[in-house]
Amino acid sequence: MRLEDKVAIITGSGSGIGRATAQLFAEEGAKVVVAEINLEGANETVQSIQSAGGEAVSVEADVSKEEDSRKIADLAYCEYGKIDILVNNAAAFVFGRVEDATTEDWDHVFSVNVKGPAFCVKAVLPVMKQGSSGAIVNIGSISSMIAQPDYVPYNTSKSAILNFTRCLAMDLAPFNIRVNTVCPGVTHTPALEKAIQEEGITLEEANAHLNQPCLLKRLGQPREIAHGILFLASDDASFVTGTSLLVDGGYTAQ
């Protein structure tokens, strides 16, 4: 087992990629803190882990609020006595053209997608430093790397994550804390389902339209992304820091 006795916090793990990551981490021996704004989703994830024989606990938290990030870290420490891994996965999906985005849109997308990861890192650092080790995995996107039509607020926030990762990797290396990003391609999650419903198209149409550049010509599955996150969170990646791993079916290769 690759995460035996490790304690992992995964934000936004009541759904999609976060849930698949929580389940995979628990299968690999981690004790998982499922941090979510949606407590019902978090409890479902915890239940699925516990019924498979794993260990997990849920906490209701909005990562855009600094006090909630402290609540997550406190709960992890009180429950399990240490924090080895933080996966910053929760995200707000705010799309549109620059002329349509409101002040509230910009505040929301940056509060959840950029300030949220920063607050969570700040909250876990005292415990990680005390243990002289840690692995932080931020979730970016192909949208961190490329332009997509009418995606300005989301893509701007997701590209910020790449330099957030590099800067943290530099500052935290002396404490043996590694920081990396996983950039998923178009992945079949509830967030994607919602986006295509709003566009009024079918999943097949979405795949053909949204995913046309994908070399493998299909949507990713949440568990396929979770395997990339597992690699960077585990000691298999002990010499990897400050970088990003694209798990995108070759979407950005051409």
Ligand X SMILES: NC(=O)c1ccc[n+]([C@@H]2O[C@H](COP(=O)([O-])OP(=O)(O)OC[C@H]3O[C@@H](n4cnc5c(N)ncnc54)[C@H](O)[C@@H]3O)[C@@H](O)[C@H]2O)c1
Among 8, 10, 85, 139, binds ligand X (CB under 6 A): 139
Distances from the Cα of 89 to the Cα of 50, 174, 206, angstroms = 21, 25, 23
Residues 104-123 that bind ligand X (CB under 6 A): 112, 116
Residue with tokens 């566009």, as numbered in its chain: 199
Query: Helix, strand or coil for residue 199?
Result: helix
Residues 18-47 that bind ligand X (CB under 6 A): 18, 36-38, 41
> Of the residues 77, 80, 151, 154, which is catalytic?
154
- 76 interacts with ligand X by CB under 6 A: no
- State in angstroms the smallest separation of the CB of 146 from ligand X: 11
**Cβ(44)–Cβ(115) below 8 Å:** no
Give 67 or 235: the residue with its C-beta nearer to ligand X.
Answer: 67
Distance between CA 177 and CA 125 in Å, rounded?
9
Among 15, 69, 156, 180, binds ligand X (CB under 6 A): 15
- 190 interacts with ligand X by CB under 6 A: yes
Distance between CA 181 and CA 242 in Å, rounded?
8
Residue with tokens 């290396």, as numbered in its chain: 173
**Cβ(231)–Cβ(237) below 8 Å:** yes
Give 129 or 201: the residue with its C-beta nearer to ligand X.
Answer: 201
- 206 interacts with ligand X by CB under 6 A: no
Element (H, E) at 245: strand 244-247
Q: Closest by alpha carbon to 225, among 133, 114, 91?
A: 91
- 156 interacts with ligand X by CB under 6 A: no
Q: Is 154 a catalytic residue?
A: yes
Q: Which residues bind ligand X (CB under 6 A)?
A: 11-12, 14-18, 36-38, 41, 61-64, 89-92, 112, 116, 139, 141, 184, 186-187, 189-192
Q: Which residues are catalytic?
A: 154
